[in-house]
Structures are given as C-alpha cells and as structure tokens.
C-alpha cells in the first residue's frame, strides 16, 4: 500500500507541475487559464506551502475581479 501512495503522490506532483505552465499560457491564449492554474495549485499545495499561498491569492484575486465586474454591470 505504501508504494501505491508514493505513486499517487508523485503523479499529483507531476501533474501539478505540468498544468502550471499550461495554465499560465492559457492566461494569454484562448482558454480557461484561471481554472487550470487553480487546479494545478490545488494538486501541489499538499506538498508545497507556496502553492497553497498562491492558490489562496489567486482565489482572492478572482473574487475581487468578480465583485468588480458585478458592480460595473449592475449600473
């Protein structure tokens, strides 16, 4: 069972690091950049504290953007 958990751990880390530049590229290319970045950071935050901090910052930034957009469209 220990070997399986190590494989899952490495798969999550590998997938997170692959999705990170993809999400960054999708911020300027057509595509879902923010959700891909958020998913990659969620995969990485179990192993790296910086990923959790970055995901929380990204979430707050997206929330503020949504509030700003709602305020602009309700005028």
Model confidence pLDDT, tens digit, residues 2-59: 888 899 999 999 999 999 999 999 999 999 988 999 999 999 998 999 999 999 999 9
Under DSSP, the state recorded for 75 is -
In whole angstroms, how large is the CA radius of gyration of the chain? Answer: 15
Q: How many CB atoms lie within 10 A of CB 16?
A: 20
Mean pLDDT of 59-75: 89
String of DSSP letters for 17-28 = HHHHHHHHHHHH
d(CA 46, CA 43): 7
pLDDT on residue 3 = 87
């Amino acid at each position: 069972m220990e070997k399986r958990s190590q494989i899952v751990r490495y798969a999550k880390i590998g997938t997170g690091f692959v999705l990170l530049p993809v999400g960054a590229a999708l911020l300027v290319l057509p595509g879902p950049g923010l959700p891909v970045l958020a998913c990659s950071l969620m995969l990485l935050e179990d192993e790296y504290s910086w990923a959790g901090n970055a995901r929380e910052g990204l979430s707050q930034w997206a929330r503020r953007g949504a509030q700003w957009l709602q305020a602009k469209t309700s005028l």
